Chains A and B, each alone.
Chain A
Amino acid sequence: MTAMLEMRDVSKSFAGVQALRDVNFTVEAGQIHALVGENGAGKSTLMKVLSGVYPAGSYEGAILFDGEERRFRDINDSEELGIIIIHQELALIPLMSIAENIFLSRAPSRYGVIDRNAVYRRTAELLAQVGLRESPDTLVTDLGVGKQQLVEIAKALSKKVRLLILDEPTASLNEADSAALLDRLLAFRAQGIASILISHKLNEVARVADRITVLRDGRTVDSIDCRTEAVDEDRIIRSMVNRDLAHRFPERNVAIGNPVMTVENWSVYHPLHTARQVIKNVDFKVRRGEVVGIAGLMGAGRTEFAMSLFGKAWGYNITGKIRLDGREVSLAGVPAAIDAGLAYVTEDRKQLGLILADDVRKNVTLASLRLVAERGVIDDVVELKAASDYRNRMRIRCSDVYQEAGQLSGGNQQKVVLSKWLMTDPQVLLLDEPTRGIDVGAKYEIYCIINELAEAGKGVVVISSEMPELLGICDRICVMNDGAFVGEFAKDDATQEKIMRAIMRNVRMSGSGAHDDAVQVAGGAQ
């Protein structure tokens, strides 16, 4: 069969971080091609290159479609050819009807007046094609996530799709909806429509894919033709995680003491979908001098867990006990959590960590202004000295502490956020993806800081989606899936395969992450 799409030697980097390296990727007409890999392996980046989100010229390599080289300037160019991408976060407008969403930009019209009957008729046809029994006038907000996904696909069909890209389409679907969606892909294959399926769920991938390509660290490391070879999940998992440890981890003298924080029977509900239990009665412990990792996929509930501990900064109806150094505490708000010696370093430093328009000095001292003020009046000189101290200690590269935080690189921004929390003199640090999006050198420096903290007898919790990082710096790794801990490994016992298997096994068992509310909403709309 001839290749419909060929991506040749595609490379892409962001500010010094190589996201894709000489990736070759081919899709044949009427093929379902699964793309698998860890978080951050480069799957989404590759698809963004393909769909023109990153325009021609911003990457190296070539894209051939129907045997011709194409240079997409934006997403419209790729859609013109029938390459349609459906993102993980659905791009539907909730308070518009299905029909309005599908024909948002290209409604059939006469003299600029929308032909409502034609829109209705064609929407009904498309919905029949994707197997969604809903009136075209139904508002999207009244649909469950699974049905919204089908609306997205109907929208793609309305654009004469030839290659459909689905980015984790079943991540938030229950088993039945996932199965229905995958059946749709098989039906499209019969009509000659090719699909690229990005998914973490290997059972699904094994069921529908004609070919499976594994990405790791921005490279294609394996490609399996499912028609000629048996799909071996162990082989896929090994390919996904088995990398040469390019970056090393600093050594640390491990001296583990008494538990500094003990969490018992911790339960958290979603603040908006209040019936949904996000953290399911978990127990957790971190000792002085210990670095504990929490592994898991995105959406497993790790960030929600950490933020709910940090003065109930996230969640609703939070119950359970926290003990600090054996004493039970009640942390009703962030100020109480800070006073009790907790620090939470967010995964989203731009939105939740920094005030980008403010200078480094103000960002560093924000959580501990008391220390640089007397009777509510800030002492400029004391503040400046404190900020400069952290700048030197953490080696924050900035012109001076009056430089805007927004102008710094990711690694230096992260060090500013860390400085802010170190200045509060915490006993327990919750670090959420502390090295996301920063270069290797800065990562090493962050690891050194983590080690120093542990050696100083603090308890450190590291949430990370990079398994080698967890293996490299943690004394113990807990695996979280769907709001519960599903595995725990001591440092010597942990391997990437074991962790990945613990995650995958549970992803398969829970089907989808069992988002109860999605099921309920979908049921209610029928």
Chain B
Amino acid sequence: MTDKTVSLPEAPKHSGFIKNNLRNYGMLLSLLAIMLFFQIVTDGTLLQPVNLTNLVLQNSYIVIMALGMLLVIVTGHIDLSVGSVAGFVGAVAAVLMVTYHIDYPIAFIACLLIGAAIGAAQGYWVAYFKIPSFIVTLAGMLVFKGLALAVLQGRSVGPFPPTFQKLSSGFIPELFPSAGTLYPTSLLIGVVLAFALVLASARGRAREQSHGIEVEPYAFFVAKSIALAGAVLYFTYLIASHRGLPNVLVIMTVLIAAYGFVTRRTVVGRQIYAVGGNAKAAKLSGVKTERLTFFTFVNMGVLAALAGLVFAARLNTATPKAGLGFELDVIAACFIGGASAYGGVGRVGGAVVGAMIMGVMNNGMSILGIGIDYQQVIKGLVLLGAVCIDVYNQRR
């Protein structure tokens, strides 16, 4: 008791710091807790290398679309059409590559351009005609679901050329002779990545400190760096002991890093948040609000197309049902990750963590043999709970 009273004056600053950061890292901690829970109840199956690799592959397209959806949600809009668009683009890819035998790089680029065109078409109505995005993209959802059926003429089209399949089912090439069960190239990339992350944050901290800016406590910084590096290393070790880094994980990581950078550090990113926070004030501050909104939809279209390609490559066939309901998982990922339905708030990291929470729960519950019926119930309740916690946090 006496100890507590003595240490009180010191306490507020640090506990304030930890409290603020708890809010930022709250969802990450939830993810860790959920992973730990399933790791225990599945007797360690969850984090077995083969399952982990599967987990990444299963959720890659959700994560990719969540990056675009986050921007759309931050500007205060929503895109319900992403699932249909992904399905449609997958169908187009199949027709181009399988039916017309067009080379896969050309077909790939054509598909991304189609995605951009779709995003532009929808964004135009939202940004310049001020039609609620809910309605525009609801219409888009129906249109592209129908077009996917039309393009495929109701049949499944496949299989894809082997090089295209590599997009989803391939792994990075091994440069070194295999060392037992481990893939050294992947491991090396993981080590370099962990080192680079720690170095970058240390340099950033030193720079801020040299300008007299208040930084996080040293102990906290060290703990954070160790945790970060440890997590990256452990993860790559697991991945490297199956078949190495999947290609799609490399794509995802690059995209996450790029979108994280754009949202946090660039003028465009700042302006996107400003539009969502108060569109009128942003406009009167010289932000081109319409153009930004338009381009968030274009961007969403491209990412939905990419996700459609990844999904089609993974199934190795384009089916009329591809993409069905993806939009719900993607939107749920953003909201679980702390994005605000009113716009202006949300982080790339949050959306990724949100997508991973959904993915781990899907995977864990499947391992446990819980039926698809109750899986949906539980996921729904988690979504509601996560947003409730967030609203409660905002009110305090």
Residues of chain A touching chain B, judged by Cβ–Cβ distance below 8 Å, are: 310, 313, 333-335, 337-338, 344, 346, 351-358, 362, 366-367, 369-370, 373, 376-378, 380-381, 384-385, 400, 420
Contact of B284 among A313, A369, A378 (CB under 8 A): A313
Q: Given A338-B286, A381-B207, A420-B285, decide whether A358 and B280 contact each other with a Cβ distance below 8 A.
A: no
B281 CB within 8 Å of chain A: yes
Bound together, the chains give a CA A354 to CA B278 distance in angstroms of 7
Q: Can you pick out 17 interface pairs between chain A and chain B where the beta carbons lie within 8 Å of each other?
A: A313-B283, A346-B284, A351-B280, A352-B284, A355-B282, A357-B345, A358-B274, A358-B277, A362-B273, A367-B285, A377-B267, A378-B265, A378-B270, A380-B208, A381-B208, A384-B213, A420-B285
Contacting pair B344 A355 (CB below 8 A):
yes
Bound together, the chains give a CA A354 to CA B280 distance in angstroms of 9
Bound together, the chains give a CA A405 to CA B327 distance in angstroms of 34
Separation in Å of the B114 CB from the closest CB of chain A? 27
B211 CB within 8 Å of chain A: yes
B289 to chain A: closest residue by CB: A334
B273 to chain A: closest residue by CB: A358
Bound together, the chains give a CA A346 to CA B278 distance in angstroms of 14
Interface size class of B (residues with CB under 8 A): 20 to 34
User: What residues of A have a CB within 8 angstroms of the CB of B366 in the complex?
Assistant: none
Given pairs A344-B284, A357-B344, 5 additional interface contacts (CB within 8 A): A313-B284, A334-B284, A355-B282, A366-B287, A369-B270
Bound together, the chains give a CA A354 to CA B285 distance in angstroms of 9
B199 CB within 8 Å of chain A: no
Contact of A376 among B213, B214, B266 (CB under 8 A): B266
Bound together, the chains give a CA A400 to CA B270 distance in angstroms of 20
Bound together, the chains give a CA A163 to CA B165 distance in angstroms of 79
User: What residues of A have a CB within 8 angstroms of the CB of B266 in the complex?
Assistant: 373, 376-378
What number of residue pairs across chains A and B have CB atoms under 8 A from each other? 77
User: What residues of B have a CB within 8 angstroms of the CB of A355 in the complex?
Assistant: 274, 277-278, 281-282, 344
Query: B241-268 interface mask toward A, CB cutoff 8 Å, 1 = contact, 0 = none?
Result: 0000000000000000000000001111
Separation in Å of the B74 CB from the closest CB of chain A? 12
Contacting pair B267 A357 (CB below 8 A):
no
Contact of B281 among A351, A369, A377, A384 (CB under 8 A): A351
Bound together, the chains give a CA A355 to CA B344 distance in angstroms of 9
Bound together, the chains give a CA A337 to CA B284 distance in angstroms of 10
Separation in Å of the A272 CB from the closest CB of chain B? 13
User: What residues of A have a CB within 8 angstroms of the CB of B207 in the complex?
Assistant: 381
User: What residues of A have a CB within 8 angstroms of the CB of B267 in the complex?
Assistant: 369-370, 373, 376-378
Separation in Å of the A152 CB from the closest CB of chain B? 29
B271 CB within 8 Å of chain A: yes
Q: Given A366-B270, A369-B271, A381-B213, decide whether A335 and B284 contact each other with a Cβ distance below 8 A.
A: no
Q: Which of B277-322 contact A (CB under 8 A)?
A: 277-278, 280-288
Report, nearest first, the 9 A-B pairs whose CB atoms are least far apart. Answer: A355-B277, A367-B285, A335-B286, A355-B278, A369-B267, A338-B286, A366-B285, A334-B286, A373-B267
User: What residues of A have a CB within 8 angstroms of the CB of B285 in the complex?
Assistant: 334, 366-367, 420
Separation in Å of the B279 CB from the closest CB of chain A? 10
Bound together, the chains give a CA A210 to CA B144 distance in angstroms of 70
Contacting pair A352 B281 (CB below 8 A):
yes
Contact of B268 among A313, A358, A362, A376 (CB under 8 A): A376
User: What residues of B have a CB within 8 angstroms of the CB of A337 in the complex?
Assistant: 286
Separation in Å of the B330 CB from the closest CB of chain A? 24
Separation in Å of the B128 CB from the closest CB of chain A? 14
Bound together, the chains give a CA A333 to CA B288 distance in angstroms of 9
User: What residues of B have a CB within 8 angstroms of the CB of A354 in the complex?
Assistant: 278, 281
Bound together, the chains give a CA A373 to CA B262 distance in angstroms of 13
Bound together, the chains give a CA A346 to CA B281 distance in angstroms of 9
Separation in Å of the A317 CB from the closest CB of chain B? 19
Bound together, the chains give a CA A366 to CA B284 distance in angstroms of 10
Separation in Å of the A353 CB from the closest CB of chain B? 6
User: What residues of A have a CB within 8 angstroms of the CB of B277 in the complex?
Assistant: 355-358
Contacting pair A377 B286 (CB below 8 A):
no
Q: Given A335-B288, A376-B267, decide whether A366 and B282 contact each other with a Cβ distance below 8 A.
A: yes
Q: Given A353-B281, A355-B344, decide whether A377 and B265 contact each other with a Cβ distance below 8 A.
A: yes
User: What residues of B have a CB within 8 angstroms of the CB of A333 in the complex?
Assistant: 288
Separation in Å of the A379 CB from the closest CB of chain B? 9
Bound together, the chains give a CA A209 to CA B213 distance in angstroms of 65
